[in-house]
A and B are shown apart, each in its own frame.
Chain A
Amino acid sequence: MKRRDALRSLALITGGLVLVPSCDFSKEDILAAYKNLQITPSLKQLLAGIADTIIPPGNIKGAADLSVQDFILVMVNDCVDENGQQAFMKGLQAFEGFSKKTSGKNFSKLTKEEKENLILSGLSTEEENEKDIRSFLETTKRFTIQGFMLSEYIQTEVKPYSLIPGDYKGEVLIADIKTERING
């Protein structure tokens, strides 16, 4: 709640951005909403692209449609410890380099399939010097799944959450349960 208010008033004052002059890795502005992270608009956009590759749009909206990147950043900023935050930031910052090295192009220039392959290889890399990439992608995947599944859209329009799930039944035959398939 507080953050939303803070964000709102920040947005009013600064248009969403605060200039941090001592920023040492980029000439871009830093998004002040995530005070423990050094997030620039282009890093955030890259993160959205990665999340959207992990859960792409289709019949049902994808991660970026739901701004899952915002949720990922809130969680990393607030609920991940300092080591995890550092690994996340290092991996995020190194990701374009990883993309160029592995597939010869910037992430945004890749086809959908190339993007998927790149992320899958990052998630499974055993290379010592790519361990931040892996850790970053694992964190991103975990929060993408959580942010997507627990989004307002999924919880109201796709699989409505019920505050009242109904009486407990302790002996239900699985064969009798009918659920409709949801096509992504």
Chain B
Amino acid sequence: MANLNIDAVKERTFQAIVIGSGMSGSWAAKELCEHGVKTLVIERGRNVKHIKDYPTTNMLPYEFEHRGQIPLEVQKENPIVSRCYAFREDAAHFFVKDKEHPYVQEKPFDWIRGYQVGGKSLLWARQVQRWSDFDFEGPARDGFAVDWPIRYKDIAPWYSHVEKFAGVSGNKDGLPHLPDGEFLPGFPLNVVEKYFQYQLKKHYGDSRHMILARCAHITGNLDYYAQQGRAKCQSRNLCQRGCPFGGYFSANASTLPWAEKTGNMTLRTNAVVHSIIYDEAKGKATGVRIVDTQSKEMEEYFADVIFVNGSALNTNLILLNSTSYRFPNGLGNDNGLLGKYVAFHNYRAGISAEYHGHLEYTTQGGRPTSGYFPRFRNVFKQETDFLRGYAAGFSAYRGTYADQSGIGMELKENLLNPDKYGPWGISSHMMGETIPKESNYVALDPNQKDEWGIPLLRINVEYDDNDEKMVKDYLEQMTEMFEKAGFTNIKTRDDRRAPGLDIHEMGGVRMGRDPKTSLLNANHQLHAVPNVYVTDGASMTSTATQNPSLTYMAFAARAAHHAMKTFG
């Protein structure tokens, strides 16, 4: 490795390197390649080609040996990933198994990962709500973390840019704290969801809303998406297997093939990035060191600009492991804050109920989204004894069931003719904002290393009092709203899941105005190493309540354009 000849160095030199081929990295790659930048995308996992590598996508229920269930032995071997709702027989192959990639939990943290081309963009639930200035101004207003160096107006055009290409369906709702975007037609809310909307209006005026969640599915403008090779979403709702229509946005169906078509992308799979190379003399980053996962050999690749998009915690790990004489504690880590101020979303609480009205109606067909409660606590002013607030999912559903009480012919006839309707089922889960704190941090284990000689990540993240209060408030407020709407048999739950299972971990390389208190500037460049950009969840200064990936994608696109302007 040390005695590379000149040609080899040339072969390993690109204009840009993107680390990670998932949700955010694929956006950086798309933008760079589309504008003629020779880009190397480095991915630790295997390749997953759109359609070809979706082995379960067209499987019928009986073709799954356990009809979808994960065998106990597999669950016992993989207790962490087994807690994820989507870790089922049809998508298990896209998740990291606990044993294969260990980490250290100083405190319980369920780190859910997808190591392959496309990352977790294959598995996500495709909910894409914009942030607003109520979110970007949160830290400054409420006095936590540091001020974001950007505002909604900086990112709004990039939201539009991403939404148009990815395809987002939704309704224009006109809410200041959940801005409208470039929407394709929305899926319908059902009759009881509309009834609940009406009840909210009746009891809370204009202060609480339940709307259709915006989701990254193609529902219109089909000619435009045909250029990407994608077709209309068929509502089949088996997205986590990979969609043969390209009906939802994934890196595999959309951004990566687009980047590839330009001829400017080189994809290097099975290559774990070990660290970023910092050249003292040049005063900048010059490349990355990777370990080939098969041969375990180390190799170096070079570029003018480096994007780090390994997903929040892996991005922290890579930077922490990028040490040099100039940066003994990790790349760009002059203030010692790298890895700190990690935050996440609190998905602990949920509520369910029944509704005995509108019994003459039911629903038909599939819908890959649901209703959404934008945050209503502490939005326009501080009104509770906790900071910030929560959004929530909401859905009403109805179906038939069969009387299964008997046996014999009676049971058989009942099963084949399920014609009994119960009441409507109602359910909601919370999506709470957590406050980034210095004491929630990740660090490198001083002794233990993985198979490729890279230190294991130690995770120190936990809930605080603010989170407990929010859980309580969510359950109280939802119960009240459910009661007012006439829902019955209301059941609340706090499953006390560990942080991390929301799969919205963020922070550690936060943005800010001041190099003393933040790692990245307003353009996602490391303050101290401006040719290194971080645009995934690691860059988040605070977490808001919205599902975050749309924001990572918009950040990646925006930063890629900044890099092209700045570094030619």
Residues of A at the B interface (CB closer than 8 Å) are: 1, 3-4, 53-56, 58, 60, 62, 74-75, 78-81, 116, 119-120, 123, 141, 145-146, 148-152, 155-156, 158-159, 161, 163-175, 177, 179, 181-184
Contact = CB atoms under 8 A, between A and B. Distances in A.
Contacts of A163: 58, 60, 236, 238
Interface stretch (B35-43, B188-196, B447-455, B506-514): B188-196
B157 interface: no
Q: Which 6 A-B pairs have the closest CB atoms?
A: A170-B190, A168-B367, A184-B412, A78-B71, A182-B416, A168-B365
Given A164-B234, A169-B364, A155 B62 contact: yes
15 contacts: A54-B407, A55-B407, A79-B66, A145-B411, A150-B61, A163-B236, A164-B235, A165-B236, A172-B361, A172-B363, A174-B361, A174-B421, A179-B419, A181-B417, A184-B413
A159 B416 contact: yes
B65 A74 contact: yes
A19 to B, nearest CB: 25
Contacts of B229: none
Contacts of B225: none
A177 B365 CA distance: 13
B273 to A, nearest CB: 33
Contacts of A161: 60-61
Given A75-B66, A177-B362, A183-B413, 13 more contacts: A54-B407, A58-B412, A78-B66, A79-B69, A119-B407, A123-B407, A155-B61, A163-B60, A165-B366, A167-B235, A170-B189, A173-B361, A179-B419
A172 B416 contact: no
Nearest to B189: A170
Given A165-B236, A168-B367, A170-B190, A55 B72 contact: no
A56 to B, nearest CB: 6
A168 B188 contact: yes
Contact of A116 (B58, B73, B408): B408
Contacts of A148: 415
Nearest to B75: A79
B67 interface: yes
B363 A170 contact: yes
A123 B144 CA distance: 59
B409 interface: yes
Given A79-B69, A175-B360, A170 B188 contact: yes
Contact of A173 (B235, B360, B408, B409): B360
A65 B194 CA distance: 46
B187 interface: yes
Nearest to B55: A1
Contacts of A54: 407-408, 411
B416 A171 contact: no
Contact of B416 (A75, A123, A150, A184): A184
B364 A150 contact: no
A146 B64 CA distance: 12
Nearest to A50: B407
Contact of B190 (A53, A116, A119, A171): A171
Contact of B412 (A56, A159, A169): A56
B235 A166 contact: yes
Contacts of B416: 60, 158-159, 182, 184
Given A78-B73, A182-B417, A166 B364 contact: yes
A150 B67 contact: yes
A170 B419 CA distance: 18
B477 interface: no
B361 A155 contact: no
B404 interface: yes
B411 A169 contact: no
Nearest to B188: A170
Interface string B187-216: 111110110000000000000000000000
Interface in B146-173: none
Contacts of B361: 171-174
B363 A168 contact: yes
A74 B66 contact: yes
B157 to A, nearest CB: 32
Contacts of A156: 60
B234 A79 contact: no
A119 B410 CA distance: 14
Contacts of A1: 65
A74 B193 CA distance: 40
A1 B71 CA distance: 13
A69 to B, nearest CB: 15
A62 B411 CA distance: 12
A161 B58 CA distance: 12
Contacts of B411: 54-55, 145
B67 A174 contact: no
Contacts of B193: 170
Nearest to A66: B62
A58 B409 contact: yes
B188 A184 contact: no
A92 to B, nearest CB: 17
Contacts of A149: 415
A158 B416 CA distance: 9
A36 B62 CA distance: 23
Contact of B365 (A56, A62, A78, A165): A165
Contacts of B404: 145
A145 B236 CA distance: 24
Contacts of B409: 56, 58, 184
